[in-house]
Structure 1
């Protein structure tokens, strides 16, 4: 089975150089999770419509915590944080859209699956600069989560080319990467 590859934006507000990077990446990845918590809904909508006008296929976009924009943008779906209870009503209203959730334990993974999630992000698997001073949960924790649910589990956190084989061996259906794609020095 082919490994899923998701890019997750870095929260920098979708500046032009990140948009340009996204436009170069989309042929090689399965989805882009737009994680821009610092933008208002209007700012996010404006930047996304501009990105789509520049050639980004909207069916590759997953909106992080922004289900209210789905009626206005033909995106792939929405990704929810671990304790966001909007996943179930979103999935009921939009059964044709993907709904994902971030999880950090077996119990959270099982709850997300029961709530109707189509996929999970589990992490952070390895130490990462986005979670300073917090050790990674590790491959054993990833394996336990992948074995506890029937939906795809996508590993996130400190993922790069060197450790993708290990997360796949631990049962991950794919990887989600932030800094591997969006290093701010670009």
Structure 2
């Protein structure tokens, strides 16, 4: 069964996602300085002890992930040399790597990445400049690697079936949850649909 992957930009959002039953939470706040970032993730990690099934992933910053004792880090193609980071830290941290192509996915898996982030699958409100990958390419990426693939970008309840059928292990949703007046209710709708498979 695919799992729901949420995104938080502050402690309160992370707490809400945990309480609502989200399995993986990526902390992403590009406007935060390093010390503040580490401090927030440490608080999230402390809170996560009440939710042993939840994994906390830090976006972009290996240093912040290590200093805050987060479960993992997610890196883009431009976030340092991810291949050497995988080599050095794969035993310590879960490492996810963003990809746009099948070749990048294969290279990331060979380098030791634990998961692949594939997108934007559809149009993304949070990254409008990101090119659209489409479901056929997502499917190809899922078939080309044995590590879990996280699908991201413009995913809604309406197109969720397509994404699940493509073989994604994690369903990353930002706008369709965090942009709602009652995000907890939307999360329950996602979890129900994921459970039905």
Aligned mates of 1:68, 1:136 — CA distance in 2: 30
**Match runs of 1:7-46 below 5 Å:** 7-9=6-8, 14=10, 19-27=11-19, 28-46=21-39
Structure 1 segments of 4+ aligned residues over 4 angstroms from their partners? none
Aligned residues: 177
Q: CA deviation at 1:29?
A: 1.5
What does residue range 32-181 of structure 1 map to in structure 2 within 5 Å?
Answer: 32-53=25-46, 55-57=47-49, 60-94=55-89, 95-132=91-128, 136-181=132-177
Report the Cα offset of residue 185 of structure 1.
6.1
* Deviation digits for residues 104-132 of structure 1 (CA, Å, limit 9, x no counterpart): 11111111111111111100001121232
Partner residue in 2 for 1:6:
5
SS of structure 2 residue aligned to 1:128: coil
Q: Structure 2 unaligned runs (5+)?
A: 183-197
TM-score, with length taken from structure 2 = 0.79
